[in-house]
Structure 1
Amino acid sequence: MKIAFYSTKSYDREYFEEYLPKTAHKITYFKNGLELNTVSLAAGFDAVCVFVNDKITKALIKKLHEIGIKAIALRCAGFNNVDLEAAKEFGIRVFRVPAYSPEAVAEHTIALIQTLNRKTHKAYNRVRENNFSIEGLTGMNLHRKKVGVIGTGAIGKALCRILLGFGCEVIAHDPFENPEIRAMGIRYVDLQELLKESDIISLHCPLTPESKHLINQKTIGLMKKGVKLINTSRGALIDTKAVIKGLKNGQIGFLGIDVYEQEEKLFFKDLSEMVIHDDVIMRLMTFPNVLITGHQAFLTTEALQEISKITLDNLSDFELGKEVKNEVEFQNV
């Protein structure tokens, strides 16, 4: 297949080029994101390959259909950025990479927790300036702390395994309970109980209409004073303005996020010489107990290798008329 590859970064090209010779596909790389003013670049191609911050609207899908695109290959797990109903209407198939390296995201979650907890980012900056004082760098043991994991799919499961290794008491919440989680000795609880009991809360659930702003003013009010909150899943799981209030009044002890609800305007871009007009994220960055990374939790060698393989295998199966097990379809429920 001829693939128009949008939102290309250097690491995308490196790992897709590594696996490409094992397929019959041809890729043309574009730095541009897929938008109405760039969709014409896909003319003459069979499929487009896009990332999580490419917003695939009905208008875009209509244009893709008109220029003959047969498939949208997502090189990510999330698919809330695609209008699946429109894709079905115009007969365009949608594929994703449901699990590339759960450990990559789970390990990054731990990195956020421990960086904020032990303040290693502050210690690094101090020592660079010949300041060897450890005043203000007191953290806490993770051992015996109660950690609430919301969402126990592949990533949540990987995180649970790591947390148990730290000696944490782990509780979980998920509408669909995972028997492997229970086999670890982890207790499932309702959301309210998890919010009330947890010292640390980590989000690993998909973004759906039901889970949007799962963390809001009301649910924050149920949490322990000084709760530690981590989000490496989807930005809109958190009502950012409500979290800012929680940080200001001390209800939230620290916040670590790798995702942000307005990230498509910011992340994956070098804006160091520009004025950022997003006042919400700029306010977040003024807090000394907030750590933000730019959607890099997935960024490991192993994950990138798996993403390229699964993405291209999805398109190979589609081209050969095989069932594509990673297809995402609109469910009219």
Structure 2
Amino acid sequence: MKIAVFSAQAYDKYFLDEANQRQAEPFNLVYQQASLSLQTVTFAQGCDAICIFVNDLLDAPVLDALKILGVRGIFLRCAGFNNVDLKAADELGFLVARVPAYSPEAVAEYTIALIMTLNRHTHRAYNRVREGNFMLDGLLGMTLHEKTFGIIGMGKIGRAVAKIASGFGCEVLGYDPMVSPEFAALGEMVDLKTLLARSDIVTLHCPLFEDNRHLINAEKLHLMKPEAMLINTSRGALIDTRAVIAALKSRRLGALAIDVYEQEGPLFFQDRSSDIIADDVFQRLMTFPNVLVTGHQGFFTIEAMREIADVTFQNLNCLANETNCPNAIVRT
């Protein structure tokens, strides 16, 4: 089977090729560095399936074009699927499968790394010392012990964050529309308003759906403590970025760390260092000393990449062997 792999970086090739060598019948992988869109969909010509990542666009026009090209399967190298029009995919008869969980500890640990960096200003201290500046002014942080962690989303990543926060000696609050019995030993389940009002740190660990887009908006930000820290390693559009900027400017939000951004598609996973970035909202974010932005690397560990590759090939084999796919979100 021939598979077009979109948004393919060097590390994707390495781990996918490694996993492909372990297959009884290896697949023919055709790597495309370009992301999938209506302009690049022709790269899937002659392929049985495509393999995509978080910023590839699969709206109805792209799905129609893939159907015409003879593509039968769509395989995501990630857990989120907000970039796929599932209704259109179902109507067109595609098999759509994802990697539902991969090393949740990787994202949880990275979340804590962002919190610690933003809190203790280690990124700024590193740059100062390299320039011979050993002053401590502006580097004052807070002790996390006995602070309150508010975790939105009680899936595997959220629970992994809760375990680490508990280890710091923090009070842990959790919110999720779904009941999470596993969280009972880690903290207290509360409603969203209570979590926002009581937490010193609010961190997001939930998938993006249309009904929770801009979950953190101007109204919710007003409920938070003015000195609170907001962390997002899930999906960018969970946060209303303009509202966050307004809260930072008015000092209604203490600090922000994001590994995702709602308009990240044209920016992330590429070198834009020699370009003029025309995204004024993103550029405004970068002017705040109490804001930390990274480029969607929370998942990026050896263990997670190997798990993503292995599960992707499990899903591909379901299409090749015409067997039931346990990770399917749309079935043929």
* TM-score normalised to structure 2 length: 0.98
Q: Distance in 2 between matches of 1:41 and 1:291?
A: 36
Where do 4+ consecutive residues of structure 1 move more than 4 Å? none
Kindly state the Cα deviation for residue 314 of structure 1 after the two structures are TM-superposed: 0.5
Considering only aligned residues, what root-mean-square deviation do their CA atoms show, in Å?
0.9
Bigger shift: residues 33-42 or 79-88: 33-42
Q: Determine if the alignment matches structure 1 residue 94 to structure 2 residue 81.
A: no
Paired with 2:319 and 2:182, the residues of 1 have a C-alpha distance of: 32
2:313 equivalent in structure 1: 312
Provide the residue aligned with 2:82 in structure 1: 80
Q: How does 1:141-220 map to 2 (within 5 A)?
A: 141-184=143-186, 186-220=187-221
Match of 1:4, SS?
Answer: strand
Instruction: Tell me what 2:242 maps to.
Output: 241
Q: After the TM superposition, which residues 1-333 of structure 1 pair with which residues of structure 2 at under 5 Å, given as runs?
A: 1-23=1-23, 24=25, 25-184=27-186, 186-329=187-330
SS in 1 for 2:330: coil
Identity of aligned residues (%): 54
- The number of residues matched between the two structures is 329
- Counterpart CA distance in 2 for 1:38 and 1:118 is 43
CA distance, structure 2, for counterparts of residue 134 and residue 272 of structure 1: 30
1:65-122: CA deviations, max 9, x gaps? 0111000000011000001111111111101001011011111100110001000001
Using the TM superposition, give the Cα deviation of residue 135 of structure 1 relative to its aligned residue in structure 2, in angstroms. Answer: 1.7
Shift of 1:12: 0.2
Please state how far the C-alpha of 1:329 moved relative to its aligned partner.
2.7
TM-score scaled by length of structure 1: 0.97
1:149 match: secondary structure: strand
Q: Please give the secondary structure, in 1, of the residue aligned with 2:329.
A: coil
Residues 157-215 of structure 1 show CA distances to partners (whole Å, capped at 9, x for unaligned) of 1111111111110000001121111123x110000100110000000011111211011
Measure the CA separation in 2 of the matches of 1:251 and 1:125: 28
Partner secondary structure for residue 264 of structure 1: coil
Letter in 1 for 2:2: K
Please give the per-residue CA displacement for 1:107-140, whole angstroms capped at 9, x wherever unaligned.
1100110001000001100100011111221111
- Structure 2: runs of 5+ lacking an equivalent: none
Q: Deviations over 1:214-249 (max 9, x none)?
A: 111101111111110000000000000100011111
Distance in 2, Cα, partners of 1:286 & 1:316:
47
Q: Distance in 2 between matches of 1:125 and 1:190?
A: 40
- 1:9-43 Cα shifts (integer Å, max 9, x gaps): 01000101111012222211111111222211211
In the alignment, structure 1 segments of 5+ residues that lack a partner are none
Q: Distance in 2 between matches of 1:135 and 1:34?
A: 47
In 1: Cα distance, 2:112 partner to 2:40 partner: 38
